[in-house]
Amino acid sequence: MLWRTLAILAVLYTILFGPLAALVYWDSKRSGIHGPAKWAGFVFLTGLLGLVLYISDKDDEFHDPDDADPFSLPGTPPAGAADSDDSTEAVGTDTDHSS
């Protein structure tokens, strides 16, 4: 009875994660990600965790972290760029000298 249950679970696992691994192989080959067979096998063996890691790695392959600057807002100059505008004043300085 135990062997029959394990066999049914193995067949269900293969039916569920076999096509998923095939899709990962196809997608990684189409996207040019290194090691499509490695990723397909990893997803087949680890299930949904492997799929999440594949999607995360795929995102890292296409988005260079050097492009993003976490210290500047969109449309503003990059952090560390010299201000050419002399009209800005430091906070807390007294500019009215007519006392």
pLDDT digits (tens, 9 = 90+) for 35-59: 999 999 999 999 999 999 999 888 7
The pTM of the whole model exceeds 0.85: no
- Report residue 60 CA to chain centroid gap: 5
The answer to whether 31 and 58 have CB atoms below 8 angstroms apart is yes
The answer to whether 36 and 28 have CB atoms below 8 angstroms apart is yes
What is the Cα Rg of the chain in Å? 27
Q: What is the pLDDT of residue 73?
A: 74
Q: What is the pLDDT of residue 34?
A: 87
Cβ-Cβ contacts under 8 Å for 12 (sequence gap 6 or more):
none
Residue 39 is assigned to a structural domain of this protein: yes
Domain count, the chain: 1
Under-50 pLDDT residues of the chain: none
Residue 99 is assigned to a structural domain of this protein: no
Residue 36 is assigned to a structural domain of this protein: yes
- Report residue 10 CA to chain centroid gap: 31
Residue 27 is assigned to a structural domain of this protein: yes
Give the separation between CA 40 and CA 24, rounded to whole angstroms. 6
Q: What is the pLDDT of residue 95?
A: 63
Residue 85 is assigned to a structural domain of this protein: no
